[in-house]
Amino acid sequence: LRFNQAYRLSARAETGAVHLDWSIAPGYYLYRDRTHFKALDAGVTLGKPAFPPGVVENDPYLGRLVVFYKHMDATLPFSAPRGCRCCIWR
- Please give the pLDDT value at position 1: 92
- Please give the pLDDT value at position 39: 84
Nearest-CA neighbor of 45 among 66, 15, 87, 16? 16
Specify the pTM: 0.81
- Inter-residue contact 75 to 19 (CB < 8 Å): yes
- Please give the pLDDT value at position 80: 85
- Please give the pLDDT value at position 13: 86
Q: Per residue in 21-69, pLDDT tens?
A: 999 999 999 999 999 988 888 888 999 999 999 999 998 998 999 999 9
Q: What is the CATH number of domain 3-77?
A: 2.60.40.1250
14: pLDDT confidence band, cut at 50, 70 and 90? confident
Could you state, in order of their start, the residue ranges of all structural domains in the chain?
A: 3-77
